[in-house]
């Protein structure tokens, strides 16, 4: 089974809320909430993929960020290398450019949303 590299943007605003979006029902782990992100393309670094996906999905440009965590996760049907970047400053107004619902939620409110299992240790670390 091929391991897929995924870059994820954990966007935190000045009010210390986090941006989450709902996955389409048709996607892997569909209907669950997630931080914006997606596959690292050929010849692309995880950092570049995070920036591209963040803009493509929610219209934001990260200006201050760092690698928060890198982890491997095996769903059984998919194996993933996940790169989580914490975005602490950005340009733009978040919008669901792919029609997905968005929410800004506090760290405490994250527990009220169902996330893919690969995100649970990250949420605990936040």
pLDDT digits (tens, 9 = 90+) for 38-79: 999 999 999 999 999 999 999 999 999 999 999 999 999 899
Full-model pTM: 0.93
CATH number of 3-125: 3.90.79.10
| Mean pLDDT, rounded, for 76-92 | 96
Strand order in the sheet with 61-74: 37-39, 3-11, 79-91, 61-74
Judged by phi (left if over 0) then psi (alpha if -120 to 50, else beta), residue 104 lies in: beta
């Amino acid at each position: 089974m091929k391991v897929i590299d995924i870059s994820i943007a954990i966007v935190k605003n000045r009010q210390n809320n986090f941006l989450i979006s709902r996955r389409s029902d048709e996607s892997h782990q569909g209907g669950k909430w997630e931080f914006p992100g997606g596959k690292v393309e050929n010849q692309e670094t995880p950092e570049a993929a995070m920036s591209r996906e963040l803009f493509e999905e929610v219209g934001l440009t990260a200006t201050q960020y760092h690698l928060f965590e890198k982890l491997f996760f095996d769903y059984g049907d998919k194996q993933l290398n996940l790169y989580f970047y914490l975005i602490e400053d950005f340009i733009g107004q978040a919008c669901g450019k792919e029609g997905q619902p968005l929410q800004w939620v506090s760290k405490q409110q994250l527990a009220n949303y169902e996330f893919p299992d690969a995100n649970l240790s990250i949420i605990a670390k936040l």
